[in-house]
C-alpha cells in the first residue's frame, strides 16, 4: 500500500470517528433536554377541580414553561366547560396538543388523556385550565 493511500484511509477514519462523536454528543444533548422538559412539565401545578363548585363565568389561566407559553380563557356555564379559548400559544407542542381542549369540553373534565405525540403540551394545557379554575378559598 502506498503512503498516499494509507494517509487517505487514516483521514477517512478520522472523519468518520469525528462524525460518530458529534452524533453521540448531539444525541446526549437531545435526551438531556427532553428529560429536563418532562421534569419541568411534571412540576407544573395541577389542581383538583370540581366543576360543580365553579360558578358561571370566564376564567383566565396562564402557564409558562421553557418550551411553551400558554394563556387560556375558560368559560363555565351551568357547571360545564362551555368553551376554552386560546389567547396565547407559543412554543413546542402548542398546536399539536390543542385538540385536548375539545376532549376536555366533550368529557366535561379538566384532566383527560394526553394527546399522543404531544404529551408535554397536553400537560401544559391541563395545568393551565386547572390553574384558571383554581379559585382562592
Position 1 scores a pLDDT of: 53
What is the Cβ-side half-sphere exposure of residue 23, based on CA atoms within 13 angstroms?
6
Which of 127, 133, 136 has its CA nearest to residue 69? Answer: 127
* 11-68 per-position pLDDT tens digit: 888 888 889 888 888 888 888 888 888 899 889 999 999 999 999 999 999 999 999 9
pTM for the full predicted model: 0.79
Are 60 and 132 a contacting pair, CB within 8 Å?
yes
Q: Determine how many CB atoms are found less than 10 A away from the CB of residue 69.
A: 15
Does residue 74 carry a pLDDT above 90? Answer: yes
Are 63 and 130 a contacting pair, CB within 8 Å?
no
Position 21 scores a pLDDT of: 87
Does residue 87 carry a pLDDT above 60? Answer: yes
Amino acid at each position: 500500500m502506498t503512503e498516499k493511500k494509507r494517509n487517505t484511509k487514516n483521514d477517512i477514519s478520522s472523519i468518520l470517528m469525528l462524525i460518530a462523536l458529534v452524533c453521540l454528543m448531539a444525541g446526549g444533548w437531545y435526551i438531556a433536554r427532553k428529560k429536563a422538559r418532562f421534569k419541568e412539565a411534571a412540576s407544573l401545578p395541577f389542581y383538583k377541580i370540581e366543576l360543580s363548585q365553579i360558578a358561571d363565568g370566564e376564567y383566565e389561566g396562564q402557564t409558562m414553561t421553557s418550551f411553551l407559553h400558554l394563556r387560556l380563557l375558560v368559560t363555565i356555564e351551568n357547571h360545564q366547560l362551555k368553551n376554552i379559548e386560546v389567547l396565547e400559544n407559543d412554543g413546542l407542542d402548542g398546536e399539536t396538543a390543542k385538540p385536548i381542549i375539545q376532549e376536555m369540553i366533550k368529557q366535561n373534565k379538566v384532566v383527560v388523556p394526553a394527546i399522543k405525540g404531544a404529551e408535554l403540551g397536553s400537560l401544559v394545557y391541563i395545568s393551565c385550565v386547572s390553574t384558571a379554575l383554581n379559585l382562592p378559598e
